[in-house]
Amino acid sequence: MAKAARRLAETGHRLTRKGREVDVRVMPIPGSDDGGHALLFGHVTDGALVRIHSRCLYGDVLQSDDCDCGPELEKSMDLIQAAGRGVLVYLEQEGRGAGLVNKARGLRTSEQLGVDTFDSYERLGLSVDMRSYRLAAEALVTLGLRSVRLLTNNPDKVRAVREHGIAVTVVPLVTRPRNDRARRYLEAKRRRRGHMLPLELVTVRTRRAGHWRGWLLPLSRRSRRLRLRLP
């Protein structure tokens, strides 16, 4: 921990975002598939806001309207900056871990066949989601965090962090889809991966769903085990 603290101190600098300055430090997360970097903003202690974010070139950089990646990243940073502290774990997991080329192939297949990208990945012989959040959770342990407020709608991220002994309070990220393609993608994430999304953001096409405090949760064993605590 002391060694990690020294390395973090060597990266400390000021970052100006949306007209405001914030202290930032950077910690590498080694890993050929699920690695990346942890960016620490302000004085990070237990209970800090944490966003675990998978790289999305289209959403994060090109500001595509077709997914919620860019809006989720922006909102996460807005919340962290407003709080004055927090952690952004940015993982090199483009295309749910399949890479940019396979992501593009999946999007093309989706357009041609009228299916969601989970179906298109399967048709291409790819896993629908190759990501692991183990390295991200281990990075939080390295930082000495025992509790976090996790900015996410993804139960896989919640489970990964909790499995490493960190107490998690889930802070759902509500971003409105910018077009119908984005809305269909949100619905597919809810239906195929159990993402926790507010009712008004998705078109519900299945009866196999349950209501919980105004949020739509698939009635899967995984979701029933997930204990949520809204801030």
Active site residues: 129, 131
DSSP-H helix ranges across the chain: 2-9, 69-83, 100-113, 117-123, 134-142, 155-162, 180-193, 221-225
> How many CA atoms does the CB half-sphere of 30 hold within 13 Å?
1
Task: List b or e across 120-158, with b for residues whose CB sees 16 or more CB atoms inside 10 angstroms.
Answer: bbeeeebebbbbbbebbbebbeebebeebbbbbbbbbbb
How far is residue 47's CA from residue 70's CA, in Å, rounded to a whole number? 24
